[in-house]
Amino acid sequence: AIDRLAEVGPALGRPLVDTLIDGDMSNLKELRPGSRKRTEIRIVFVFDPDREAIFLAAGDKAGRWSRWYEEAIPLAKARYAEYRTAKSAETKSEDKR
């Protein structure tokens, strides 16, 4: 699924990628690799402005359908905020050169 995401990019849709509904982030996605019925692995990610996939959280949601999202989405949002802060600082540093 990760290789396919790298090949296709933001145009990749269901069944491998789905949009997560969150009022704050309209671009929050989940990668849904195939499962073997015992696991339901999900990888929460966004595409940054450069159209690069940024993986933010991952885990097995089997048996924890709603609760998994309640934990993963806030974690993903916090990690993306950290990423944007670091990326902004990096850009400012490069601009000074």
Q: What is the mean pLDDT of residues 66-76?
A: 93
**Would you state the pLDDT for residue 11?**
94
Q: Name the β-bridge partners of 46.
A: 54
Split at pLDDT 50, 70, 90, the class of 97 is: low
Residue type, position 11, single letter? A
Cβ-contact 32, 1 below 8 angstroms: yes
The structural domain count of the chain equals 1
Distance CA 33, CA 40 (A): 8
Domain limits for position 79: 2-95
Query: Residue range 34-45: average pLDDT?
Result: 86
The chain-wide mean pLDDT, for the chain, equals 90
